[in-house]
Chains A and B, each alone.
Chain A
Amino acid sequence: DTEVTQTPKHLVMGMTNKKSLKCEQHMGHRAMYWYKQKAKKPPELMFVYSYEKLSINESVPSRFSPECPNSSLLNLHLHALQPEDSALYLCASSQVASEQYFGPGTRLTVT
């Protein structure tokens, strides 16, 4: 089973709201990733967690705050977002430095 699940599927939030995106995998993968994808563009890496530790932050604004509570879960906390942050947010997981499996994504709209 190569399934990565993400909740919610869709999210609409105002610029003053606080919300969280959730990601889960049960493949025993020790690396987890957050990507942002705008329409007709490839995914852009935001964060990488390896063995529950943040190993890459691609200069993402502080209004995005990742958290990895355990090896199966990954959260992305959102606060004071801007309309230009509207996008598809993708979670992925992999064995260390191996191929990545993506979840279905959360479609975020910031109003």
Chain B
Amino acid sequence: QKEVEQDPGPLSVPEGAIVSLNCTYSNSAFQYFMWYRQYSRKGPELLMYTYSSGNKEDGRFTAQVDKSSKYISLFIRDSQPSDSATYLCAMRRLGAGGTSYGKLTFGQGTILTVHP
């Protein structure tokens, strides 16, 4: 079983829809959570970074973390065709020492298409 599970989709929604992207994880040592957006043949772009349970909002994006259920989500409101990309969740263990230092564990990525 992978440490981080993410449905690869593909997910296709109409413009203006609310999109929900999710990841589950099995290792309770993960304490820091990130969402990246990656356009085709480009590097991942950091969208959200959070370390506490609850919601964090930035514009049309809301990141939600539920550590008790080991479940994280990214919501996109009023989705636009320009949101069409692969969305990667990533997480990291607490602390800066040892072999866990800075290492991110990624989900497989969800391919999202927003059609006009």
- A→B interface (CB under 8 Å): 2, 4, 6, 31, 33, 40-43, 45, 48, 50, 55-56, 88, 90, 94, 96-97, 99-105, 107
User: Is the pair A45, B95 in contact by a Cβ cutoff of 8 Å?
Assistant: no
Interface residue tally for chain B (C-beta within 8 Å): 24
User: Is the pair A99, B99 in contact by a Cβ cutoff of 8 Å?
Assistant: no
Complexed CA–CA distance, A42 and B101 (Å)? 19
User: Is the pair B43, A45 in contact by a Cβ cutoff of 8 Å?
Assistant: no
Q: Given the complex, which residues of B lie within 8 Å of A56, measured CB to CB?
A: 99, 101-103
Choose one: A4, A40, A105; the contact of B42 (CB below 8 Å): A105
Q: Check A99/B43 contact, CB under 8 A, given A33-B102, A42-B88, A56-B101.
A: no
Q: Given the complex, which residues of A lie within 8 Å of B99, measured CB to CB?
A: 56
- B→A interface (CB under 8 Å): 32, 34, 36, 41-46, 49, 88, 90, 92, 95-96, 99, 101-104, 106-109
Q: How far does the Cβ of A58 sit from chain B's closest Cβ, in whole Å? A: 8
Chain B, interface SS category: loop
CB-CB nearest in chain A for B86: A40
User: Is the pair A100, B109 in contact by a Cβ cutoff of 8 Å?
Assistant: no
Interchain residue pairs A-B with the least CB separation, the first 10: A42-B106, A97-B96, A102-B43, A99-B49, A104-B43, A105-B43, A102-B44, A103-B43, A48-B102, A31-B102
Interface centre among B36, B41, B43, B96 (most CB of A within 10 A): B43
Q: Given the complex, which residues of A lie within 8 Å of B92, measured CB to CB?
A: 97
Complexed CA–CA distance, A66 and B46 (Å)? 24
